[in-house]
Chains A and B, each alone.
Chain A
Amino acid sequence: LPTEFDWREHGAVGPVKDQGSCGSCWSFSTSGALEGANYLATGKLEVLSEQQLVDCDHECDPSEPRACDAGCNGGLMTTAFSYLAKAGGLETEKDYPYTGRNSACKFDKSKIAAQVKNFSTVAIDEDQIAANLVKHGPLAIGINAVFMQTYIGGVSCPYICGRHLDHGVLLVGYGSAGYAPLRFKEKPYWIIKNSWGENWGESGYYKICRGPHVKNKCGVDSMVSTVTAIHTS
Chain B
Amino acid sequence: LEDPLIEQVVGGDAENELELNAEAHFASFVRRFGKSYRDADEHAHRLSVFRDNLRRARRHQRLDPSAVHGITKFSDLTPDEFRERFLGLRKSRRSFLKGISGSAHDAPALPTDG
Contact = CB atoms under 8 A, between A and B. Distances in A.
B42 to A, nearest CB: 16
Interface in B76-114: 77, 79, 82-93, 95-100, 103, 105-112
A166 B91 contact: no
Interface in A57-92: 61-64, 67, 69-70, 72-76, 78
Contacts, number: 195
Interface residues on A, range: 35 or more
A76 B57 contact: no
A187 B67 CA distance: 11
Interface string A142-183: 100111011111111111100111111000000000001111
Contact of A64 (B69, B95, B106, B110): B95
Nearest to A118: B105
Contacts of B65: 180, 182-183
Contacts of B99: 61-64, 78
B110 A167 contact: no
6 contacts: A22-B85, A73-B88, A78-B105, A131-B112, A156-B64, A200-B72
